[in-house]
């Protein structure tokens, strides 16, 4: 009896494993699979151990993966075997004394993974050599040094990582780098951008967050171009702020640089997912140029001075109000010792009347409650309706046009510094990095928000 090497069928079990063995097709077999519903060509990929036992994963020649129900497979033609090489050839990143020095700090996310099928086949990306091997253009822009701080998907970022990141940025600036790039998962990139905008102030150099919506083994990956754009920004732009750099339009025409406190991930799968909310972005970026579209940004300086205040008290929460919310949602936060609550209210900043006693109790117990708006665009206005006025009487503090996630980050940062509620209020309502603005530009709602120029272009395609 021959023994099976499970490595040849990595991750597969049950029906899927039996089917692969029956057709003698270990992983990396180049095959055509015949099913009731048609035939599919591609490479059999390893499977995640935690995935179900009913499907076989095939990487199609166009680069996308599909799952095929094992029980529907009638026959398999085998053409050969093409084992994927996880390792990108490492090349020494060339050093050119005339080029600026940029530091890339990696935290994880899709941009750091290639062929990550959760089977162990993850590239330990972010070594300079690997990055140079996969995106050689980076060497034309700067001398890039890299450091992997964390390797997590961004839902796992938290106070420990935010603080570690802010401190690492401070160290690099003091050492004299000309720009910093942070590789990060896109899902919570705007949370981290907000907290870094508060923790790292008066940076002399650009601090650019970058990610990718599609991993670099997919033909439509945005990883390489986003990296080129962000490294260009860090190396040559004179915008010394915390920014997010991602696709502008749905095409690869240009990238946008968004202010760290006004940016939000707005689409679960588009590459142009990040949008500036309540304002317009700071600049566009192409492969070799950064073009500001406003001029009220902090300019690059040629010193190494930066203020790092890396503190966060995690006894704060966001409550997303929904109709019929019960007061026990607020009560449980009070009873669990939370110090501050950010409410994302409806319309101009409202919640229902049954919540009032809980809000009153929050005030009595010294829990700070701030109001933001679910509409994201626009300001909290608590003088317009009775509801708003009632809530202010109950001690709810309007947070102007701070985005809910930004207010949450700022509240944690404020409580990290003091428990004095008046001081917390002063910190919350004093704009530090564009999180509260005097007014929204009238064209901000339309332009560059997947807005007019792109829509026009799109429509033109169909109006021939
Ligand atoms: N889930 C991933 C993350 O945020 C998605 C991404 O990187 O785009 O880490």
Domain ranges of the chain: 6-81, 101-308, 316-429
pLDDT, block means (10 residues), the chain with 464 residues: 70 91 92 93 81 87 85 93 65 90 92 53 62 85 92 94 98 98 96 98 98 78 90 98 92 91 94 91 93 94 98 98 98 98 97 96 98 96 87 94 98 98 98 95 65 58 59
For ligand 1, whether the C-beta of 213 sits within 6 Å is: yes
Fold of 101-308: Rossmann fold (3.40.50)
79 CA to middle of ligand 1, Å? 35
Residue with tokens 């915390």: 242
Give the class (CATH, top level) of 6-81: mainly beta
Q: How remote is the C-alpha of 66 from its chain's centroid?
A: 25
Q: Domain 316-429 is in which class?
A: alpha beta
**29/82 Cα distance (integer angstroms):** 6
- Ligand 1 site, residue 186, Cβ cutoff 6 A: yes
307 is catalytic: no
- Strands 307-308 and 368-373, how do they pair? unpaired
Candidate from 151, 153, 209, 274 with most ligand 1 atoms within 8 A of CB, to mutate: 153
Q: Check pocket membership of 153 for ligand 1, CB cut-off 6 A.
A: yes
Sheet order of strands, 29-35 included: 65-69, 55-59, 38-44, 29-35, 73-81
265 is catalytic: yes
Active-site residue identified among 10, 59, 103, 265:
265
Taking the CA atoms of residue 290, residue 181, residue 278 and residue 298 in that order, the dihedral angle to the nearest 10 degrees is -60
Confidence (pLDDT) at 447? 59
> Ligand 1 centre and the CA of 215: distance in Å?
10
pLDDT at 68: 94
Residue bearing the CA closest to ligand 1, atom 8: 186
Task: Decide if 234 contacts 290 (C-beta within 8 A).
Answer: no
Question: Is 186 tagged catalytic?
Answer: yes
Active site residue 187: yes
Q: Is the CB of 211 under 6 A from ligand 1?
A: yes
**Selected catalytic residue, list 19, 25, 107, 186:** 186
Instruction: Tell me the pTM.
Output: 0.82
What integer pLDDT is reported at residue 454 of this predicted model? 62
Tokens read off for 368: 């700070």
Instruction: Please tell me if the CB atom of residue 106 comes closer than 6 angstroms to any atom of ligand 1.
Output: no
Q: Evaluate: CB of 185 within 6 angstroms of ligand 1.
A: yes
The reply to whether 316-429 shares the fold of 6-81 is no
From 113, 157, 191, 211, mutation site for ligand 1 pocket: most ligand atoms within 8 A of C-beta:
211
Ligand 1 center to 187 CA (angstroms):
5
- Of 116, 187, 252, 279, the active-site residue reads 187
CA–centroid distance, residue 214 to ligand 1 (Å): 9
Q: How far is the CA of 90 from the centre of ligand 1 (A)?
A: 25
Residue nearest to atom 3 of ligand 1 (CA): 185
Among protein residues, the one with the nearest Cα to ligand 1's atom 7 is 185
Q: Which two tokens stand for residue 304?
A: 């190494």
Determine if ligand 1 sits within 6 Å of the CB of residue 183.
no
Pocket test residue of 151, 186, 209, 274 for ligand 1, highest count of atoms within 8 A of CB: 186
Closest CA to 54 of 34, 33, 69: 69
């Amino acid at each position: 009896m021959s023994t099976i090497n499970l490595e040849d069928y990595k991750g597969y079990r049950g029906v899927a494993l039996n089917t692969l063995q029956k057709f003698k097709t270990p992983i990396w077999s180049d095959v055509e699979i015949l099913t009731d519903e048609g035939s599919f060509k591609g490479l059999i990929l390893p499977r995640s151990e935690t995935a179900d036992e009913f499907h076989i994963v095939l990487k199609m020649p166009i680069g996308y993966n599909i799952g095929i129900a094992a029980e529907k497979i009638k026959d398999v033609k085998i053409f050969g075997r093409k084992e994927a090489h996880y390792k990108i050839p490492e090349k020494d990143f060339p050093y050119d004394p005339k080029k600026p020095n940029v530091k890339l700090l990696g935290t994880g996310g899709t941009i750091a993974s290639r062929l990550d099928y959760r089977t162990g086949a993850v590239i330990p990306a972010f070594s300079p050599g690997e990055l140079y091997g996969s995106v050689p253009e980076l060497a034309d822009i700067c001398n890039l040094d890299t450091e992997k701080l964390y390797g997590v998907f961004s839902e796992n970022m938290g106070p420990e990582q935010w603080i570690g990141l802010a401190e690492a940025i401070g160290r690099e600036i003091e050492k004299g780098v000309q720009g910093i790039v942070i590789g990060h998962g896109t899902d919570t990139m705007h949370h981290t951008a907000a907290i870094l905008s508060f923790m790292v102030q008066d940076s002399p150099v650009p601090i650019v967050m970058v990610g990718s919506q599609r991993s670099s083994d997919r033909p439509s990956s945005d990883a390489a171009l986003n990296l080129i754009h962000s490294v260009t920004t860090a190396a040559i732009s004179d915008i010394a702020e915390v920014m997010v750099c991602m696709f502008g339009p749905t095409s690869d025409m240009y990238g946008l640089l968004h202010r760290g406190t006004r940016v939000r991930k707005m689409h679960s799968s588009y590459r142009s997912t990040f949008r500036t909310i309540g304002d317009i972005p700071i600049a566009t970026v192409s492969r070799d140029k950064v073009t500001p579209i406003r001029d009220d940004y902090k300019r690059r300086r040629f010193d190494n001075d930066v203020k790092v205040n890396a503190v966060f008290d995690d006894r704060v929460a966001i409550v997303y109000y929904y109709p019929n919310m019960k007061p026990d949602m607020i009560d449980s936060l009070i009873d669990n010792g939370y110090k501050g609550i950010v409410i994302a209210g409806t319309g101009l900043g409202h919640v229902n009347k049954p919540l009032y006693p809980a809000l009153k109790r929050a005030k009595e117990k010294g829990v700070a409650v701030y109001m933001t708006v679910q509409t994201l665009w626009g300001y909290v206005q608590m003088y317009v309706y009775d509801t708003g006025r009632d809530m202010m009487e109950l001690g709810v503090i309007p947070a102007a046009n701070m985005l809910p996630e930004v207010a949450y980050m700022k509240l944690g940062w404020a409580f990290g510094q003091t428990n004095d509620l008046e001081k917390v209020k002063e910190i919350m309502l004093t704009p530090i990095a564009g999180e509260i603005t005097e007014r929204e530009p009238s064209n901000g709602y339309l332009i560059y928000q997947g807005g007019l120029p792109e829509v026009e272009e799109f429509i033109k395609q169909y109006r021939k």
